[in-house]
Structure 1
């Protein structure tokens, strides 16, 4: 049982990402402060929970990634379903921590991205935060991306600000790589003048696990390549990798963000059409190489002095992908070592949920949650919208 400390405030963070596998939830304790910037390493994880999505929910969420019949009603119904799943995750966290709803300051919930079109001025994370507040009796803070887009930003990635707060070290340049459905990096630069470390770049590098998950689903009916075994059984094909890399997004400068709007089944099919009769295992190995190569290239371009690369997200649990990332970094002339964020005290599958607990705290303190240098927004903005219990 967790004993609440009068000097701390409790927040819950909920994240369901592009991989569409389920919900990661954490209960986090943050030190109280007087409204000034909290000190680095601000969060302590008190409990965690994972709620997998059913096959039916996954199919419906996937279908909503593209235009379809009656999609407004379908999205509303999926939002209700998600809210009940989020509420079940919150209940599990409360039980495991031995706490009551009235002891939690707020829930920070990302929602499920179904469209991300910052170039058109919008992003859409389906959810029903009002229902979640009603079901849990806890204030809910949601819709974190829209304000940044309204200020001219990409609305993504948002996690670099959290990475800066938790993982930066002024004595060395570090890179934090989140490999979910889409991969993104946060460059945490060394500062030799003794100033507080700042993140001056962070962006989506391209596909993380999404295309690998798609390919194994199409060929083996599995949701993901457990431990990267299937990918490791194949051989990465240089000509196919070159075709994959022939995508303008990879060469475009940051700030930038992406998602299934670009990297989807149609994108993959168009690339594979150039190479008939490939071994499916070789395609999988080449998709692993694509993720590793695009991350390594981004690090070589923007963090050539990095000594450490810390990986979070589901990709951190794929030994073959981690090996290929290390190999790709070496090919780019980097001597950076690759480890998971476990080495920094945060489990790889908890980082994003913890980030949304942190963003909820930022909203509660009326402090900015974005980094304009990362998203391209006109300036720092308070992110999120409050749905009172």
Structure 2
């Protein structure tokens, strides 16, 4: 075995509610990269930072001063999560930090992505941990003509390879994305299907007053409500769903003003009915995206897996209950805690970059060629990186020896 590294992956998704930090030992065994999970912690953004971030995101206007403040404050928050993960999960022996940062804008226009911006200055992480930091993963793929998303597709392709049937990986964050092991031409395919929790969360905050949680905890609101068929039909008319893959979207499109425009003319629908309709929208659009590929199993991860109503309706839409459609399961069944899967994916992406290996699959992002991703911020004097690996791993195996069930909130 070679290429052994202990890596901390840092991730905050489009729901921008917390920083997830997952740690893993990664070792190359022939053509297989073996991931041994060491656990995960989660640091919730404080209310003030979260409110400042929400106020600066599209379609709201902002200033460079606000962006600078957010870049610094989020960088410090990521640094705190990295320090804690190194201490609690790695016994202070992490070799590398891989930070996705916080996406604040994805410039998609005319069917192409022209730019992308993730903030959370990595210098704060390097200074606090004295570890090298790989960050800025998305821009290189965009520069190579890709969508810059979904970046986890390379990890999914390695992970799904060798599974029977036609497996599909699904992430249910703010936005839903899938990776199809065989997109129909022998090449894998990945793309964003549309909103997962983005519109549901917006409705909870705006129409239901947010309550104790800024999301539909345990699907309680959706369970109380009834789907409004005319509203669902209007939402399904969104042109994005009919666009060809690979494609990507985000809260630049699926935000509160978008929801308010969709609700125009429907009077005062109960908040529960709106949330139920949006939950059905997510289930329907994911299933519609999966169906053409003849999927035999859909392996879900992300915050949406904790919504039992969404999962039940997705299972219904996929038609797997009678054996005729795709079976829905979570990544927990395959050794990766669903809440931590994307953070673990960034440990793999960091490992690939540190070894000089590409972190993209062109058929998944639409890029002209695979690219080595990210920029490196040294952690201190005497920077040493591992020897480059000439042959990239083609499979990812999750070691059962890892403490994959370890999850420690802040």
Q: TM-score scaled to structure 1, two decimals?
A: 0.91
2:134 paired residue number: 141
Task: Determine whether 1:8 maps to 2:1.
Answer: no
1:6 positional shift: 8.6
Aligned pairs for 1:118-267 (under 5 A) are 118=108, 119=112, 121-189=114-182, 200-218=188-206, 219-221=208-210, 222-267=213-258
Query: 3-state DSSP class of the match of 1:289?
Result: helix
| Matching residue within 81, 90, 107 for 1:89 | 81
User: Take 1:343 and 1:198, find their aligned partners in 2: how far apart are those partners?
Assistant: 26
Aligned counterparts of 2:3 and 2:354: Cα–Cα separation in 1 = 16
Once residues 235 and 312 of structure 2 are traced to their aligned partners in structure 1, the CA distance between those partners, rounded to angstroms, is 20
Structure 1, 89-98 or 148-157: larger mean CA deviation? 89-98
Indicate the RMSD between aligned Cα atoms, in angstroms.
2.2
Residue of structure 1 in register with 2:354 after alignment: 364
1:48 matches 2:40: yes
Q: Counterpart of 2:325? A: 335
Residue in structure 1 matching 2:99, options 97, 109, 113: 109
CA distance, structure 1, for counterparts of residue 45 and residue 186 of structure 2: 36
Q: For the residues of structure 1 that align with 2:140 and 2:168, how far apart are their CA atoms?
A: 26
Q: CA deviation at 1:136?
A: 1.2
Query: Structure 1 residues 341, 233: CA separation in 2 closer, same or farther (over 3 Å shift)?
Result: same
1:292-311 matches, within 5 Å, as 292-301=283-292, 303-304=293-294, 306-311=295-300
| Cα distance change, pair 280–293 in 1 and its aligned pair in 2 (3 A) | same
The verdict on how the C-alpha distance between 1:7 and 1:378 changes in structure 2, with shifts beyond 3 A counting, is: closer
Distance 1:318-1:67 versus aligned 2 partners, 3 A rule:
closer
Q: Distance in 1 between matches of 2:365 and 2:10?
A: 22
* Structure 1: 4+ residue segments shifted above 6 A: none
Residues 47, 272 of structure 1: CA spacing in aligned structure 2 closer, same or farther, 3 A cutoff? same
Q: CA deviation at 1:274?
A: 2.9
Cross-structure match for 1:383: 373
Q: Do the aligned partners of 2:320 and 2:326 also contact (CA within 8 Å) in 1? A: no
Q: Give the SS at the match of 1:111.
A: strand
Distance (whole Å) between structure 2 residues aligned to residue 282 and residue 70 of structure 1:
33
Contact kept? 2:107, 2:115, Cα under 8 Å: yes
2:309 to 304, 320, 324: 320
1:6 and 1:376 map into 2 onto residues whose CA distance is 31
Give the drift of 1:211.
0.8
2:351 counterpart of 1:350: no
Map 1:63-78 → 2, pairs under 5 A: 63-66=55-58, 71-78=63-70
* Map of 1:269 onto structure 2: 260
Q: Secondary structure at the match of 1:377?
A: coil
Can you give the 5+ residue segments of structure 2 that lack an aligned partner in the other structure?
380-410
Question: 2:245, 2:366 → 1: CA distance?
Answer: 8
Answer yes or no: is the 8 Å Cα contact 1:204–1:258 preserved in 2.
yes
**How many residues in Structure 1 have an aligned counterpart in Structure 2?**
372
Q: Which residue of structure 1 aligns with residue 14 of structure 2?
A: 18
Counterpart of 1:290 (choices 257, 281, 290) is 281
Whether the aligned pair in 1 keeps the contact of 2:13 and 2:173 (CA below 8 Å) is yes
Distance in 1 between residues matched to 2:75 and 2:300, nearest whole Å: 29
TM-score, normalised to structure 2, is 0.86
Structure 1 Cα separation of the partners of residues 262 and 297 of structure 2: 33
Larger relative contact order, structure 1 or 2 (CA cutoff 8 Å, min sep 6): 2
